[in-house]
């Protein structure tokens, strides 16, 4: 599906780092990908000798180890638990519950977040798991071009996103419209399972009735006195 004509001067190329739901994704400016790599390299060195952060502030940037790859990334505190902290990895957009402690990092790394939050503009489908899975397959880890349409009160950028010449939002809407809802599929599977069970039970019943009929035919008549 071709997108409406857009002014090339309004388009920005971004690298998608995380998909939050069927409408929302996080991305870095394409030019910042190397910056993110350099920050990661610096953190691996700094965190070997950095001081642990015992008192946390929502206004500061810290370093936290991401469990999946055991590397250090910049983060902000979302909320604290007794033994863990929920953080937002500011250069990628994903939030995770991580083990304490977070590490203090120098002022040179207290720079603005590299990742921004975007939402597809003009899309009305529900934010379902099905929509999220499709959007992940379409754009996560990919470069897309975005054109800003508006800004939400929380800073989320409402955009038209293009993958090549394809409008991501329009393509996603079409894919969702052509797929049966998961609940319908589950219901149909359940109904099919019940039908199969009933057919099996009916077959067993017919077999038992036939056996009973044969047994009755083979029984001797009562003796007459």
In a domain, 71, yes or no: yes
The reply to whether 26 and 122 lie within a common domain is yes
| 210: in domain | yes
The model's pTM is 0.76
200/143 same-domain check:
no
Residues 195 and 99 in one domain: no
* 224 within domain boundaries: no
CATH number of the domain where residue 88 is located = 2.30.30.140
For 99, what's the count of Cα atoms within 13 Å in the CB-facing half-sphere? Answer: 6
Residue 3 inside a domain? The answer is no
| Per-residue pLDDT reduced to its tens digit, 58-96 | 999 999 999 999 999 999 999 999 889 999 999 999 999
Residue 209 lies in a domain: yes
Contacts of 93 (CB under 8 A, 6+ apart): 17, 18, 20, 25, 26, 27, 115, 117
- 168 in any annotated domain: yes
Asked if 120 and 23 count as a contact pair (C-beta separation under 8 A), the reply is yes
Q: Is residue 1 part of a domain?
A: no
Element (H, E) at 128: none
139, 29: one domain: yes
Residue-number span of the structural domain to which 21 is assigned? 10-177
Closest CA to 143 of 162, 170, 119, 123: 162
- Exposed/middle/buried for 218, CB within 10 Å: 0-12, 13-18, 19+? exposed
Same domain, 43 and 144: yes
Same domain, 137 and 160: yes
Cβ–Cβ < 8 Å for 6, 149: no
Structural domain tally of the chain?
2
Do the Cβ atoms of 96 and 66 come closer than 8 Å?
yes
**Are both 167 and 94 inside the same structural domain?**
yes
Do 102 and 193 belong to one domain?
A: no
Q: Is 81 domain-assigned?
A: yes
Cβ-based neighbours of 64, under 8 Å, separated by 6 or more: 72, 73, 75, 85, 87, 89, 96, 98, 102, 103
d(CA 163, CA 145): 7
Please list the pLDDT of the chain residue by residue as tens digits (225 residues): 444 567 777 899 999 999 999 999 999 999 999 999 999 999 999 999 999 998 999 999 999 999 999 999 999 999 999 889 999 999 999 999 999 999 999 999 999 999 999 999 988 766 689 999 999 999 999 999 999 999 999 999 999 999 999 999 999 999 988 875 544 444 444 444 444 445 544 444 444 454 444 334 444 344 333
């Amino acid at each position: 599906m071709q997108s409406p004509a857009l002014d090339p001067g309004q388009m920005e190329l971004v690298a998608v780092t995380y998909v939050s739901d069927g409408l929302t994704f996080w991305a870095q400016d394409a030019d910042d990908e190397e910056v993110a790599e350099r920050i990661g390299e610096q953190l691996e060195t700094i965190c070997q000798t950095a001081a642990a952060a015992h008192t946390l502030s929502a206004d500061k940037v810290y370093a936290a180890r991401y469990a999946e790859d055991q590397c250090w990334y910049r983060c902000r505190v979302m909320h604290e638990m007794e033994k863990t902290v929920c953080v937002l990895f500011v250069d990628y957009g994903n939030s995770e519950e991580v083990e304490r402690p977070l590490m203090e990092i120098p002022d040179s790394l207290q720079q603005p977040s590299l990742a921004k939050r975007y939402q597809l503009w003009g899309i009305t489908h529900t934010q379902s798991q099905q929509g999220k899975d499709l959007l992940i397959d379409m754009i996560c880890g990919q470069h897309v071009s975005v054109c800003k349409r508006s800004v939400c009160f929380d800073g989320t950028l409402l955009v038209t996103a293009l993958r090549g010449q394809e409008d991501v939002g329009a393509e996603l809407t079409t894919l969702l419209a052509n797929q049966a809802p998961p609940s319908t599929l589950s219901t149909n599977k359940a109904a099919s399972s019940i039908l199969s069970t009933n057919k099996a039970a009916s077959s067993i019943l017919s077999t038992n009735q036939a056996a009973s009929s044969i047994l009755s035919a083979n029984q001797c008549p009562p003796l007459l006195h």
